[in-house]
Chain A
């Protein structure tokens, strides 16, 4: 059998290569120049992220398939790469003082974050189920380690173990689904699967139906939609707070990128089947996430359930399955990383060594003691609740209008009702900060300059995307998969 090696197109995967090199450089620098570079590893990582961002910027425009159609650079993957790079940069800025405070200041922390980001970029650009699977696993394996990074603490170990066991379990389902699709269509390339399904009866083939259902389970786990969400609150609570922020931003967006690409590009022939399943999942995810979040007293857990609810909103966009839906999902993911990372940054600022001050009552009276920080937190909470003129409102607005455009009025109504429920628990934090007397002594804040930069970027993103969304929306509409 003759094997021809396909032409290499290094340029198309340049951002991924840069992230890999950055990760390796950080790891080596940590080993060989430990004393000289002790605190500079974050700079190295940020330089890598900025170079990758510049290279990604030059990729805007044409759609390029490379490596015999297993990888694609289109505006969709470029948009997601920006989301990943921005979220990773903010997380690294948040981490600098946090990991020192927690005593986990090791170089591999940054390396693992960079590798996870590289996996996400591979997922967003994957145009073959092999590439997608590889990206997913590179991301997940890095995250399993990061979740257990405070290895002397039991809650971190427990979070890591739960994430690992359930993640690997979900991977098994995902792979079985891919195997089924491969058996039925004879290919793992998502374009060729689409071409096969367009020319052959898809809805009557049980293997295809079963394969795509298993894919929903696998991806549903990664985006944490109900009923595959049980790991989320435990992992979010036990993981180091900076990693919790990371988990809720990049990996979730990456899973959505893959979910959209696989279902909208390769399985549109099955839309009548999966849109119904995803309709139910979206409603369940929103409702369970929002209702259970009300009962939470730990702010990390509350934000975990809120992230489940937000995954539900983004699922509405995939049910809508039109170009506005994809554009609104892109915008929503960008808006979500700013407001969510910002909220976690405030949680880190208020936290003390050993993860104290994580209860909502610990925020009582914050508005009198640290007014600026309280205003910052309020902005993120208002944005997460979807109150205009902040980013969260614009994102939800576009998602619901996409649903209505495709005729899913009931779904949009359920979504709006859910955001009303959400206002209750987001505002509870604000109420605690401004309307309750302080119950504890507030120590002076230890704000590192990195943290201040991270907070400023998050506030800027949240407000800017809320007031001037037009340019981003325009770019998002050029980045849709459907025309």
Chain B
């Protein structure tokens, strides 16, 4: 059997990939995908802990995270679409109307 700590390491790696993606990518949709990756890394950590501790709380939490992530995706993509209609670009470097 694969030891549980491996799952935690995988979760940490996925989370780090997500953070690096958010910080380095410039396309709003790719950034959003990286955020989703972070949330799923969290889900993996929760499920692992739930298994390790033999408690259900972690799995319940994962359901809530998935629901919220779905709601966030709906709103987030709508915002990106609204922006694309006005600007014709989803590159976050172009979002420079306001500074300082």
Contact = CB atoms under 8 A, between A and B. Distances in A.
Interface of A: 129-130, 133-134, 137, 141, 144-145, 148, 151-155, 157-162, 164-165, 168-169, 171-172, 175-176, 178-180, 182-183, 186-188, 233-234, 237-238, 292, 295-296, 301
Contacts of B65: 133, 175
Interface residues of B, number: 43
A151 B84 CA distance: 11
Given A158-B98, A161-B83, A172 B42 contact: yes
Interface string B73-100: 0011011101100110000100101101
B3 to A, nearest CB: 15
B58 A182 contact: yes
29 contacts: A133-B64, A133-B68, A134-B68, A137-B71, A141-B71, A141-B75, A145-B79, A151-B82, A154-B86, A154-B87, A155-B97, A157-B83, A158-B98, A159-B98, A160-B82, A161-B95, A164-B76, A165-B76, A168-B32, A171-B72, A175-B39, A176-B15, A176-B42, A179-B61, A182-B46, A186-B55, A188-B61, A233-B98, A301-B100
Nearest to B76: A164
B94 to A, nearest CB: 9
Q: Tell me if B's interface is mostly helix, strand, loop or mixed.
A: helix
A157 B87 contact: yes
A183 B44 CA distance: 12
Nearest to B65: A175
Main secondary structure of the interface of A (DSSP, over half): helix
Contacts of A154: 83, 86-87, 97
B75 A179 contact: no
A164 B57 CA distance: 28
A148 B57 CA distance: 35
A144 B15 contact: no
Contact of B79 (A155, A161, A179): A161
Contact of A148 (B55, B79, B87, B100): B79
Contact of A130 (B22, B39, B53, B61): B61
Contacts of B82: 148, 151, 157, 160
A148 B85 CA distance: 13
Interface string B20-60: 00100000100110010011011001101100110101101
Contacts of B57: 130, 182, 187-188
Contacts of B45: 176, 179-180, 183
A157 B86 contact: yes
A195 to B, nearest CB: 15
Contacts of A172: 15, 18-19, 35, 38-39, 42
Nearest to B96: A158
B56 to A, nearest CB: 8
Given A176-B15, A176-B41, A233-B100, A168 B49 contact: no
A292 to B, nearest CB: 8
A187 B55 CA distance: 8
Contacts of A157: 79, 82-83, 86-87
A187 to B, nearest CB: 7
